[in-house]
Amino acid sequence: QVQLVESGGGLVQTGGSLRLSCEASGLTFSSYYLAWFRQAPGGEREFVAGIRWSDIITAYADSVKGRFTISRDSAKNTVYLQMNTLKPEDTATYYCAAKINPKVTTTQWAFNYWGQGAQVTVSS
């Protein structure tokens, strides 16, 4: 059984930083693609960042490029999202997601597995 568990969310002031973690179990990491999505209240779920496990190829949404960094730790079966220079518009529930096909994609419908979400609130 595949399980993804997010942690590291919280409340931070504008300009601050947070690091989200996604601990995975039941995955064959050599052939998986993992990503972070976010969804604000009443909004659509949108792609934030993704990483191909095998060769660490990354992709970012334009809104977070230069501020967020996605990375992995194979020894811990964990993917991270380092979020710097946070803005109020970054406030959302952040979800870790994974899919079997390692091809890069940004649409939520392509992902097979999802975590329960981590709340990130940026105050002004």
Query: Which structure tokens are listed for 27?
Result: 């995955």
Predicted local confidence at residue 27, as pLDDT:
83
Pairing of strands 46-52, 58-60: antiparallel
pLDDT at 72: 95
Span 86-112, mean pLDDT? 94
pLDDT at position 31 is 81
DSSP 87: -
Nearest Cα to Cα of residue 92 among 65, 121, 68: 121
Please determine, for residue 61, whether its predicted confidence score (pLDDT) is greater than 80: yes
What percent of the chain shows pLDDT beyond 90? 84
Q: Taking all residues of the chain, what is their mean pLDDT, rounded to a whole number?
A: 95
Burial category of 38 from C-beta neighbours within 10 Å (exposed 0-12, middle 13-18, buried 19 and up): buried
Distance (Å, rounded) from C-alpha 54 to C-alpha 38? 24
Higher per-residue confidence, 108 vs 30? 108
**Is 102's pLDDT higher than 90?**
no
Q: Is 28 within 8 Å of 12 (Cβ atoms)? A: no
Residue 77 has pLDDT above 80, yes or no: yes
At 68, the amino acid letter reads F
Residue 97 CA to residue 89 CA, distance in Å, equals 21
